[in-house]
Structure 1
């Protein structure tokens, strides 16, 4: 059975998917009421599941007329993806950033589900037996090399 966090995440992704401009504006309290949870759980979902690395831009306004606006950001066209990755993927990549990028590439259909799982396994902290910050540097090199190999053949 799925937990409340996953249910809220899926609900918001479905709303975004059905939005013509891939933007959703929600009231934190109204959403908390809908899912019978506290507003801080809505904050948690948005802060952990709708990050820039995962392809989302979040804007928040607090107060009486407060809202949260979530916008899905599209990756550049396939022709520009290699240049985009090389410019934006730094020499050190943490676990969350790597997973977010892989998820975004899969959702954009630039890599398959199988390729995404292979990438995730290759860059997972448990499989890179090094201490920080070296682990994040090695992760970045592995991720870049694998993405170049995967995306240059398409």
Structure 2
């Protein structure tokens, strides 16, 4: 059945899919109680699996009246995803953030699983060896070029 983090992630994604508002509001303690875990486990899942790169925004307020709001960010049509992704990339892109962005492109069906695997393979860093030292800068530049290519309407 997978580990606890996987189960929490699946649960949250399932209820996000079922809502028409595009967001859910939860109590961290109630969610932890439902999964019989400590609230920090919920934090871990949110911090690692519900990131902006993966298409989510998490708002949190702690305390007695605290809540979690998880918002699914839509990419929209007509190249809007390119603008959003370019802003997320910035000047440098770590391997982990790059993989999150590629996963998002895959989730949004902008790339195929094969294309996602190719992009991840090329930008993983394994192919980026040698004397050049600023791989995060190079990875950001290459990812922006990939996004520009993906947004072109004249691709066959």
| Structure 2 SS opposite 1:114 | helix
Residue 55 of structure 2: aligned partner: 55
CA contact (8 A) 1:89 1:140 kept: yes
CA contact (8 A) 2:24 2:69 kept: yes
Inter-partner Cα distance in structure 2 for 1:83 and 1:54: 15
Distance 1:130 1:137, change over 3 A: farther
Residue 71 of structure 2: aligned partner: 71
CA contact (8 A) 2:60 2:66 kept: yes
CA contact (8 A) 2:32 2:39 kept: yes
Aligned pair count reads 154
Q: CA deviation at 1:30?
A: 0.8
Inter-partner Cα distance in structure 1 for 2:55 and 2:115: 18
Inter-partner Cα distance in structure 2 for 1:117 and 1:80: 23
The 10-residue stretch of structure 1 (99-108 or 31-40) with the greater mean CA deviation from structure 2: 99-108
Residue 37 of structure 1: aligned partner: 37
Question: Residue deviations 1:32-56, cap 9 Å, x none?
Answer: 1111111100011011111111111
Inter-partner Cα distance in structure 2 for 1:9 and 1:86: 26
Q: Which runs of 5+ in 2 are unaligned?
A: none
Residue 81 of structure 2: aligned partner: 81
Residue 108 of structure 1: aligned partner: 108
| Structure 1 SS opposite 2:79 | helix
CA contact (8 A) 2:85 2:101 kept: no
CA contact (8 A) 1:128 1:135 kept: yes
Inter-partner Cα distance in structure 1 for 2:118 and 2:105: 13
**CA-atom RMSD, angstroms?**
2.2
Q: CA deviation at 1:147?
A: 2.9
TM-score of the aligned structures, taking structure 2 as reference length: 0.86
CA contact (8 A) 2:99 2:120 kept: yes
Residue 138 of structure 1: aligned partner: 138
TM-score of the aligned structures, taking structure 1 as reference length: 0.87
| Structure 2 SS opposite 1:71 | strand
